[in-house]
């Protein structure tokens, strides 16, 4: 990257009617993060000092996303084309002198590396006025075309206005551009709408620059990187693209995926080295997995951290706030929420642990639950180190089980258990000799 200040304009004024949703199109999640968030984060990684989001319909939703992040919002009240949309950012960028990236909120997969290439191209020896990101799709459809020689643009034309010969060209315009701010506003002021759609097209600035004796350049990227979203089906296609890339990166970084196509990551998932992930594992947002962890099949993990050497699953659910200590075991049909399992602790079967702390080396028997909710509030359960909780026990919070204590199987514990004590909280067993035989005999007579 250069030392020149950088700004980004993200176009997000479309109505998104094909999504058939009350949620603004650019806020639909991709890998658990809004599409717009992917672009904002990529721009931030480049050190952009200004980001302006152009919106129209659904303005309130976009502002609710942008304002907490310190992003500016400008409104395109009428849909008069992409050049008109970009002009709405001029006030927000008044006084800015630097490079400007023009991006699209529904084209979320463009990487910060590709953005950096675009900006860098502005500062190379021949210093083009505009840098356009081009691609070569399998089907050119209705994309605008780029006529270029050796990377220098000779002509750009929208599909509606292209000749038969121009439509035969496979180099297409993604719509993404990099341009110096002073050039951008000057050229936008000259854009007209004498075209088939009667719109103000952003690509026209390339030919306007040529009319001033200036030249523009195109750099290319893969079609997948500039794929756009206009429907839920297209969003699913991008999700598949993103997930395939992320799986590849996880394996390249030292994780083993038994059935890669069945593992689903979130945008912020962190996976260590020598991690083994079984089939059909889903990572929601906010997950960090340390080195040497084994995650067996059919686990769902969200908002959780798993320390080195732990084993999770199969069929385990880690909910937000779950912290699994080093070498701990979380087995089949175990659910953990807002709870910490200490080093080497085990909960191997059919257990719910919520709002709890479990000490190192403690064993939680099958069928144990922490009764943490009374219909009004949540209450904590604290289990010390080296304790043993017998199967089918109910720990009614708030309650503390001391270090080394044992809770007998089938107990309903409603008060604290001292360290190294045995707690038995169940009805006294009574054996009535011969009762079963007499019962059966009576039943047959009836």
- Tell me the pLDDT tens digit for each residue of 338-379: 999 999 999 999 999 999 999 999 999 999 999 999 999 999
Task: For CATH 3.90.550.10, list the domain ranges present in the chain.
Answer: 6-226
pLDDT at 83 over 80: yes
**What number of other Cβ atoms are within 10 A of residue 373's Cβ?**
12
Rounded distance between C-alpha atoms, residue 395 and residue 205, angstroms: 70
Query: Residue 305 phi/psi, 5° resolution?
Result: -125, 140
**CB atoms < 10 A from the CB of 297, how many?**
17
185-229: per-residue pLDDT in tens?
999 999 999 888 899 999 999 999 999 999 999 999 999 999 999
Taking the C-alpha atoms of residue 196 and residue 163, their distance in angstroms, rounded to an integer, is 13
Looking at the chain, the domain(s) classified CATH 2.160.10.10 span 246-423
- Phi, psi (degrees; rounded to nearest 5) at 312: -125, 130
Q: Assess whether pLDDT exceeds 80 at residue 128.
A: yes
**Domain range 6-226, its CATH number among 3.10.450.50, 3.90.550.10, 3.20.20.70, 3.90.470.20:** 3.90.550.10
CA distance 341 to 339: 7
Phi-psi category of 61—alpha, beta or left, where left has phi over 0 and alpha has psi -120 to 50?
alpha
- 272 neighbors 292 (Cβ within 8 angstroms): yes
- How high is the pLDDT of residue 262? 98
Given this model, what pLDDT does residue 58 score?
Answer: 86
DSSP state of 230: S
In Å, what is the CA distance from 107 to each residue of 12, 42, 223, 308, 346? 10, 12, 11, 37, 45
| Residue range 168-181: mean pLDDT, rounded | 96
C-alpha–C-alpha distance, residues 410 and 407, integer Å: 9
pLDDT, mean over the chain? 96
* pLDDT band at residue 84 under the 50/70/90 scheme: very high
pLDDT at site 343: 98
Catalytic residue chosen out of the listed positions 123, 159, 215, 349: 349
- 181-188 vs 204-211: helix crossing angle, rounded to 10: 100
Catalytic residue list contains 50:
no
Specify the DSSP class assigned to residue 17.
G
Average pLDDT over residues 74-84: 94
Hey, what CATH class is 246-423 in?
mainly beta
Mean pLDDT, range 140-150, rounded to an integer: 93
Q: Is beta strand 329-341 parallel, antiparallel or unpaired with respect to 311-312?
A: parallel
Residue 182 DSSP one-character state: H
């Amino acid at each position: 990257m250069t030392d020149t200040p950088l700004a980004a304009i993200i176009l997000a004024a479309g109505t998104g009617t094909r999504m058939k949703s009350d949620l603004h199109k650019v806020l639909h999640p991709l890998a658990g993060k809004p599409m717009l968030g992917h672009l904002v984060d990529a721009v931030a990684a480049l050190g952009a000092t200004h980001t302006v989001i152009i919106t129209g319909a659904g303005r309130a939703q976009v502002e609710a996303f942008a304002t907490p992040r310190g992003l500016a919002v400008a409104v395109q009240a009428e849909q008069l084309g992409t050049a008109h949309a970009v002009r709405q950012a001029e006030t927000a960028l008044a006084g800015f002198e630097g490079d400007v990236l023009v991006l699209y909120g529904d084209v979320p997969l463009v990487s910060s590396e590709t953005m950096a290439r675009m900006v860098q191209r502005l500062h190379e020896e021949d210093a083009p006025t505009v840098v356009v990101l081009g691609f070569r799709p399998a089907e050119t459809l209705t994309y605008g075309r780029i006529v270029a020689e050796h990377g220098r643009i000779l002509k750009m034309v929208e599909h509606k206005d292209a000749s038969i010969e121009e439509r035969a060209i496979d180099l297409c315009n993604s719509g993404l551009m990099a341009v110096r701010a002073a050039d951008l506003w000057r050229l936008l002021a000259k854009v007209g709408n004498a075209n088939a759609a009667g719109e103000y097209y952003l690509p026209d600035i390339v030919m306007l620059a040529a009319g001033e004796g200036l030249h523009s350049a195109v750099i290319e990227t893969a079609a997948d990187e500039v794929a756009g979203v206009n429907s839920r089906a297209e969003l699913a296609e991008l999700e598949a693209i993103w997930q395939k890339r992320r799986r590849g990166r996880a394996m390249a970084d030292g994780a083993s995926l038994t059935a890669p196509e069945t593992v689903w990551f979130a945008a912020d998932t962190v996976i260590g080295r020598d991690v083994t992930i079984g089939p059909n594992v889903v990572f929601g947002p906010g997950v960090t997995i340390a080195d040497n962890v084994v995650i067996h099949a059919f686990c769902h993990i969200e908002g959780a951290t798993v320390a080195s050497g732990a084993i999770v699953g199969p069929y385990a659910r880690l909910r937000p706030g779950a912290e699994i200590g080093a070498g701990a075991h979380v087995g089949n049909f175990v659910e953990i929420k807002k709870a910490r399992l200490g080093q080497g602790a085990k909960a191997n079967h059919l257990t719910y642990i919520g709002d709890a702390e479990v000490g190192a080396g403690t064993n939680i028997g099958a069928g144990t639950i922490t009764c943490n909710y009374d219909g009004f509030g949540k209450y904590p359960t604290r289990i010390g180190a080296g304790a043993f909780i017998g199967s089918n026990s109910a720990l009614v919070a708030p309650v503390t089980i001391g270090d080394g204590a044992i809770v007998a199987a089938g107990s309903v514990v409603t008060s604290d258990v001292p360290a190294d004590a045995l707690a038995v909280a169940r009805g006294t067993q009574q054996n009535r000799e011969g009762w079963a035989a007499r019962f059966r005999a009576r039943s047959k007579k009836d």
